[in-house]
Amino acid sequence: MAENKQMKMMEREHKDGSMRFPMVEIEGASSGPILTVTAGVHGSEYNGIDAAVRLIDEVDPKQLSGTLRLVPVANVPGFLARSEAVVPMDDRNLNRVFPGDPDGSYSAALADFLWTTAVEDCDYLIDMHGGDIFEALVPYIGVAQVDDERVTRETLEMGRVYGLPYILEPRGLPGAEDGLSLAAAAREYGIPAILSEVGGEGVLCPDDADTHMRGVVNVMRHLDMLSGEPTVDAPARELETDFWTIEREGLIYPLLELDDSVEEGQRMAVIKDWFGETVQELYAPHDATIIAVVTTLAAREGAVIYQVALDE
Ligand SMILES: [Zn+2]
């Protein structure tokens, strides 16, 4: 069996330090597509990482058609530093710099290294996330439409079989001016791709990792890489998503909880200054459902405090 599971630390040099990430290729007994499954692009989102390493054992090459390629920790420096969202060498969000640049900053070069090694030649991509250190969230799939109708359709199909309660398409993504998320870059290059998000607050929760594993197995069944039908509890709600940010630093006190419905104009958060004085009250700009909420008291200027699903 071992010869059908290639496990390797991939390494490449950069002027600001060497780059490395673990990669596993499980080659099936019969032919089929290449599915790349990444985790740890955000190094402190543990449920995806745990699901990826458990899939190494779980998937039997004899039962597999095609190739399952796993990258359990894409952002090793962020994982080791317990960073929130960023790569510590340059403080950039790795999930905003794809497909990357081999001659760019450490994050851009790491993105290029991941892209050219693990993603570029795959047929389908799942990028597993786990809710970062600063947020709690409702499990969801991130998708987006692209010009290629096949890619848009197959992306949505993968999202529907993953089995999470929401499928969300962004209206705008903060910090996307430098590049794309991994899944968005894949879609732009003709690879159906989803982001899956389960868990939060930098906590490893075995049930959440199980949810990811079931989602990946469901997608593999959908793609006929494994036998059997996907098992989904209920159809996902498919909605647009938006990110609500704050304009000043301070101590942030959100007033809404996960899955709350909020009405336009409803008071949603209070910001206090360093001395405990309330300096701003925030009101919801639209009707929405709360998908993610910041759970750290600390808030920088421009920080996201809620991710929301916009009601139809
Ligand atoms: Zn993430």
- Report CA(45)–ligand 1 centroid distance (Å): 6
CA geometry: angle at 121 spanning 59 and 196, to 5°?
Answer: 55
Residue 305 has pLDDT above 80, yes or no: yes
Residue 233, judged by CB atoms within 10 A of its CB (0-12, 13-18, 19+), counts as: exposed
pLDDT tier, 174 (very low <50, low <70, confident <90, very high otherwise):
low
Amino acid (one-letter) located at 92? R
- Report CA(293)–ligand 1 centroid distance (Å): 14
In angstroms, the CA 98 to CA 180 distance is 5
Q: Which helix (H) or strand (E) holds 215?
A: helix 206-222
- Report CA(180)–ligand 1 centroid distance (Å): 13
DSSP state of 220: H
Mark out the alpha helices in the chain (DSSP H runs). Answer: 46-58, 76-81, 106-114, 149-162, 182-188, 206-222
Please provide the size of the chain in residues: 312
* φ, ψ of residue 167 in degrees (nearest 5): -120, 120
pLDDT given at position 101: 96
In angstroms, the CA 99 to CA 179 distance is 7
- Report CA(200)–ligand 1 centroid distance (Å): 9
Quote the tokens at residue 169: 């398409």
- Report CA(1)–ligand 1 centroid distance (Å): 33
Q: What are the pLDDT digits (tens) for 13-43?
A: 999 999 999 999 999 999 999 999 999 999 9
Residue 2, judged by CB atoms within 10 A of its CB (0-12, 13-18, 19+), counts as: exposed
pLDDT given at position 3: 65
pLDDT tier, 1 (very low <50, low <70, confident <90, very high otherwise):
very low
- Report CA(275)–ligand 1 centroid distance (Å): 32
Could you tell me which residues are beta bridge partners of residue 8?
Answer: 23
Mean pLDDT across the stretch 203-216? 97
The domain at 2-235 falls in which architecture?
3-Layer(aba) Sandwich (3.40)
- Report CA(95)–ligand 1 centroid distance (Å): 8
Of 264, 269, 291, whose CA–CA distance to 279 is shortest? 269
The domain at 239-310 falls in which architecture?
Beta Barrel (2.40)
Amino acid (one-letter) located at 302? G
- Report CA(276)–ligand 1 centroid distance (Å): 31
Residue ranges per structural domain of the chain: 2-235, 239-310
For the entire predicted model, the pTM comes to 0.96
- Report CA(131)–ligand 1 centroid distance (Å): 6
Contact indicator for 117, 174 with CB cutoff of 8 Å: no
- Report CA(162)–ligand 1 centroid distance (Å): 17
- Report CA(38)–ligand 1 centroid distance (Å): 11
With pLDDT > 90 as the criterion, what percentage of the chain qualifies?
Answer: 92
Would you tell me the crossing angle of helices 206-222 and 46-58 to the nearest 10 degrees? 60
Cis peptide before 99, with omega less than 30 degrees from 0? yes
In angstroms, the CA 179 to CA 260 distance is 32
Which carries the bigger pLDDT value, residue 178 or residue 9? 9
- Determine how β-strand 304-310 pairs with β-strand 30-39: unpaired
Mean pLDDT for the chain overall: 94
In angstroms, the CA 102 to CA 42 distance is 20
